[in-house]
């Protein structure tokens, strides 16, 4: 059975971050702040009003989420893989349920979202598995 807690990258999207020696870099601390800041500034200054068809927003995200940043003396290559969240946000935007500003804010908030396991005991598992 599919478990989003074991596969958060499929649901929320996932960063592949590598240094100049092709070593993986953890998405935390200064690296996280620099990446979110860079994507936020590009997204905030972009006019996405023409991105309301044929998954144009997801295609646009592919263009702005593959870049190199310099942190300290290291060049870090960043690449983002879209998740289910991005497909859902795009569809909500295309169908007019959310505005330009709302989709931008939701995408940025989703970059830093962390799943938290629910402590609520499931008393009727047949409803969950159906």
Q: What is the pLDDT along the chain (130 residues), one digit of tens a residue?
A: 456 666 767 788 888 999 999 999 998 888 999 999 999 999 888 888 887 877 788 888 888 888 999 988 889 999 998 888 988 999 999 999 999 999 999 999 988 887 776 676 767 666 655 5
pTM for this predicted structure: 0.78
pLDDT at 99: 92
Contact 128, 121 (CB under 8 A): no
- Using alpha carbons, list the distances in angstroms from residue 54 to 15, 43, 87: 24, 19, 11
Q: What is the pLDDT of residue 21?
A: 92
Residue keyed to tokens 């989709």: 103
CA nearest neighbour of 51 among 41, 39, 63, 66 = 63
Strand pairing class (14-19; 66-71): unpaired
pLDDT at 48: 85
- C-alpha span between 16 and 21 (Å, rounded): 14
């Amino acid at each position: 059975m599919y478990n989003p807690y074991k596969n958060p990258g499929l649901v929320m999207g996932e960063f592949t971050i590598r240094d100049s020696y092709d070593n993986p870099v953890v998405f935390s601390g200064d690296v996280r702040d620099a990446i979110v800041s860079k994507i936020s500034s590009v997204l905030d200054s972009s006019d996405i009003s023409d991105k309301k068809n044929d998954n144009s927003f997801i295609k646009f995200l592919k263009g702005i989420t593959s870049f190199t940043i310099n942190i300290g003396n290291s060049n870090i290559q960043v690449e983002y893989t879209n998740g289910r969240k991005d497909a859902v946000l795009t569809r909500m935007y295309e169908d007019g349920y959310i505005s330009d500003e709302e989709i931008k804010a939701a995408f940025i908030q989703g970059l830093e979202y962390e799943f938290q396991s629910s402590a609520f005991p499931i008393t009727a598992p047949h409803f969950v598995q159906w």
